[in-house]
């Protein structure tokens, strides 16, 4: 009994150590290219855990072929529907700065006049139960923010 | 939701999650030697802790000070260990001692450096350094305030209604904080 207590005490203390599980996604409509520019900010070590391999620090354009694991992962965890129509995202590359990795994607010919957007952002939910994902969608002057916690999938955002 | 309320919620939920237990434990252990009638002293001590960690957060946001992350993760639980031990001393048990204020402020500075783990994630670029950080930290302060209130209600129940001796309560709380933070110290041993 004392051993069990002691072990759970140690276990509890260990479990408390990791600080902060979150990611931030910015989606911004570019009127010139008419595409939706997406950047996802994640902690590099968290992303490595999710895709199961280390991320090498290579310039974004040089590494798209090597990023198949990231692309496959994003496909499973991020999706965007405009007025119920699922949109195709294109992976552009990534950058790593200190302990943060930026993932870049684009949706070309984005239907920015749509009224209803359904967005899924579930990265790292399988890895951390305290993971939260923040997503900002900016279309022109209008900006909306979504807050995802583990267990949630698609969230709906309406534009006037 | 607006982005302000989103980051406010993120900060609030972060400080109330178990992964921020070191900060919560510190707030509780700094309150341990007080009784409900010392509410003004509690308020001052907790505010000084906030001033301390805001100060070091600003310093690290502007790259004015660079600290070793490993060292900070060791020092943070050490501040709890030391405060818990101080609570057992004669001066520590004396609610009128101003040394507790000094501890709250200086150890607050150490805790603020621990927040740097989220700086990179929340600083969006040179132009809007604070647009995410400010609501996030307000959320943290709100969460911390809730911890103070809950602890205060517990103190009312245990010390005023149940009439437990203040010394016993202090021993109980400081003991738990000491044990948990000692394990965290050993786990984060930097050398």
Kindly report, residue by residue over A101-116, the tens digit of the pLDDT.
Answer: 999 999 999 999 999 9
Distance CA B10, CA A21 (A): 10
Distance CA B135, CA B158 (A): 35
Q: Using 50, 70 and 90 to split pLDDT, how confident is the model at A52? A: confident
Query: Which of A15, A20, A24 lies nearest to residue B117, judging by beta carbons?
Result: A20
Whether the CB of A39 is below 8 Å from some CB of chain B: the reply is: no
Torsion of CA A78, A83, A84, A87, to 10 degrees: -40
Chain A residues with CB-CB distance to B10 below 8 A: 22, 132, 134, 147
Contact call for A145 and B120, based on CB within 8 A: no
Q: Using 50, 70 and 90 to split pLDDT, how confident is the model at B30? A: very high
DSSP category for residue A66: G
Q: Which residues contact A97 (CB under 8 A, 6 or more apart)?
A: B120
Q: What is the mean pLDDT of residues A109-133?
A: 93
Whether the CB of A6 is below 8 Å from some CB of chain B: the reply is: no
pLDDT, tens digit, 9 for 90 and up, residues B106-124: 999 999 988 777 877 888 7
Q: What is the pTM of this model?
A: 0.84
Contact call for B120 and A16, based on CB within 8 A: no
Rounded to 5°, angle at Cα A26 from A23 and A32: 160
Enter the ipTM. Answer: 0.79
pLDDT at B144 over 60: yes
Residues forming a β-bridge with A143: A138
pLDDT at B31 over 60: yes
Residue B141: which H helix or E strand, with range?
Answer: helix B130-155
pLDDT at B40 over 90: yes
Contact call for A130 and B1, based on CB within 8 A: no
């Amino acid at each position: 009994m004392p051993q069990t207590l002691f072990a759970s005490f140690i276990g509890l203390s260990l479990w408390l150590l990791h600080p902060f599980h979150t990611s931030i996604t910015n989606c911004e409509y570019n009127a010139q290219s008419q595409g939706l520019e997406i950047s996802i900010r994640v902690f590099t070590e968290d992303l490595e855990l999710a895709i199961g391999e280390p991320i090498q620090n290579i310039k974004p354009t040089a590494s798209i072929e090597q990023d198949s694991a990231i692309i496959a992962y994003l496909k499973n965890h991020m999706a965007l529907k405009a007025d119920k129509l699922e949109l195709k995202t294109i992976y552009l590359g990534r950058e790593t700065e200190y302990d943060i990795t930026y993932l870049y994607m684009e949706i070309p010919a984005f239907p920015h006049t749509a009224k209803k957007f359904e967005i899924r952002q579930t990265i790292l939910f399988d890895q951390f139960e305290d993971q939260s994902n923040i997503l900002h969608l900016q279309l022109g002057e209008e900006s909306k923010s979504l807050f995802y916690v583990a267990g949630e999938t698609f969230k709906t955002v309406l534009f006037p | 939701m607006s982005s302000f309320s989103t980051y406010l919620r993120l900060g609030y939920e972060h400080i109330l999650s178990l992964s921020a237990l070191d900060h919560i434990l510190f707030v509780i252990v700094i309150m341990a030697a007080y009784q409900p009638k010392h509410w003004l002293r509690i308020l001052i001590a907790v505010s000084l802790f906030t001033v301390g960690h805001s100060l070091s957060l600003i310093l690290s946001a502007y790259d004015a000070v660079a600290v070793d992350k490993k060292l900070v993760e060791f020092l943070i639980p050490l501040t709890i260990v030391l405060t818990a031990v101080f609570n057992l001393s004669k001066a520590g048990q004396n609610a009128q001692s101003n040394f507790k204020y000094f501890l709250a402020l200086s150890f607050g500075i150490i805790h603020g450096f621990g927040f740097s783990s989220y700086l990179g994630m929340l600083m969006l670029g040179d132009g809007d350094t604070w647009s995410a950080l400010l609501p996030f930290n307000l959320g943290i302060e709100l969460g911390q305030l809730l911890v103070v209130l809950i602890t205060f209600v517990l103190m009312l129940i245990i010390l005023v209604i149940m009439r437990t001796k203040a010394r016993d309560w202090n021993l109980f709380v400081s003991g738990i904080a000491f044990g948990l933070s000692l394990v965290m110290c050993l786990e984060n041993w930097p050398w």
